[in-house]
Amino acid sequence: MKPKTKLIHGGITGDPQTGAVSVPIYQVSTYKQEAVGKFNGYEYSRTGNPTRHALEELIKDLENGYAGFAFGSGMAAITSVMMLFNSGDHVVMTDDVYGGTYRVMTKVLNRLGIDSTFVDTTDIDAVEQAIKPNTKAVFIETPTNPLLKVTDISKVSKKAKEHDLLMIVDNTFNTPYWQNPIDHGADIVLHSATKYLGGHSDVVAGLVVVNSKSLAEELHFVQNSAGGILGPQDSWLLIRGLKTLGVRMEEHEKNTAKIVQFLSDHPDVEKIYYPGLSTHPGNNIAVNQSRGFGGMVSFDIGSAEKADELLSKVKYFTLAESLGAVESLISVPARMTHASIPKDRRDELGITEGLVRISVGLEDAEDLIEDLKNALS
């Protein structure tokens, strides 16, 4: 099955009982048992729910994995994956992971004895050096936010295998439509489905796919025990969103290419970060491991004042956190998502006060370019 077909015919489709072409929303908590312990696949909706199961089967198919799991948010998904580890274990992570991932590792899971080291995972020697006797996994995000740094998934997976570590990839930015980390050696892939997978700024959710029966059993045990599941209504919304992921990603990509071209030619834009640019340091790797470059672009216009002026003038770019939706969004990472990082560290990374991040939506590219042109002038 080709990717766009899989989005519509993958997983479990429709309802065999009525012929309904959409999976029903099973708004139910418990299920009748014929006799004690004798039931038809479902006993209690924390353990399993048919609507959630349809979504879990779909994401499993989309990521070429063994089993899928749906959680109440991307952070619930990440936290549940970390619950596979024990007190005293250590994880090596990408240094510019999503802020919430950094926070849960350094302010919550550290209290339970799960330790982490953050390194530039685009540098394989840095990954090697961070591995300790108690390291159990490498967790990467690629491309990253907001500088779109690209880590070579195959290379890091190989290193992880050498040391008998689990390889975990946050695939939120590229989505399974453009990138399948399991095909490049990952053991676990996860998503904030709040972003492109849902795609319409109307649902908060997280998805995980594992590549083996043993990981599936362990993660289902955590999911059922800790209970951070996704409800049936939101599961259904995600299934609906996913059906159009292919056409949306293609359009995001086309719009983004035009905007990147416009920004590259603009005299006020000092620096532009996009993996699709041949000048981007991760361009070669991105071409090898992904089928597209995504709809996220960051660019530096030199100062906080200029950034503020731009934000106050744009009409179609909404000032907001989040990304990956039909509407274009704009943000200033240094003062929003990345404000908790000390200024010295931010400057070192390139997250300056003049750095603007956009999530290119599905409006007409001409309108978006016109909007940026007016706001920059």
Binding mask 156-185 for ligand PLP (x = CB under 6 A): --------------x-x-------------
Cα separation values, 376 from 209, 311, 355, Å: 42, 9, 14
Alpha helices in 43-152 (DSSP H): 50-62, 74-82, 99-103, 124-130
For the chain, how big is the Rg over CA atoms in Å?
A: 21
CA dist., res. 296 & res. 275, Å (int): 9
Closest CA to 289 of 171, 153, 161: 153
Q: Which stretch binds ligand PLP (CB under 6 A): 71-79, 82-90, 127-135, 180-188?
A: 71-79
C-alpha angle 163-135-73 in degrees, rounded to nearest 5: 115
Cβ 280 to ligand PLP shortest distance, Å? 18
Residue whose CB is less far from ligand PLP, 138 or 269: 138
Q: Would you say 206 or 275 has its CB closer to ligand PLP?
A: 206
Residue 117: φ, ψ to 5°: -125, 135
> CA 256: distance to chain centroid?
18
| Nearest distance from C-beta of residue 195 to ligand PLP, angstroms | 6
- Residue 344 CA to residue 166 CA, distance in Å, equals 32
Interface with ligand PLP includes 204 (CB under 6 A)? yes
Contact 209, 60 (CB under 8 A): yes
Among 57, 95, 141, 371, binds ligand PLP (CB under 6 A): 141
Q: Give the shortest CB-99-to-ligand PLP separation in angstroms.
A: 9
Question: Of the candidates 65, 68, 74, 246, which one interacts with ligand PLP according to CB under 6 A?
Answer: 74
98 is catalytic: yes
Q: Is 148 in the site for ligand PLP (CB under 6 A)?
A: no
Instruction: Name the residue nearer to ligand PLP (CB basis): 148 or 285.
Output: 148
Exactly one of 60, 136, 159, 195 is catalytic; which is it? 195
Q: Which residues are catalytic?
A: 46, 98, 170, 195
Binding region for ligand PLP (CB under 6 A)? 73-75, 98, 100-101, 141, 145, 170, 172, 192, 194-195, 204, 206
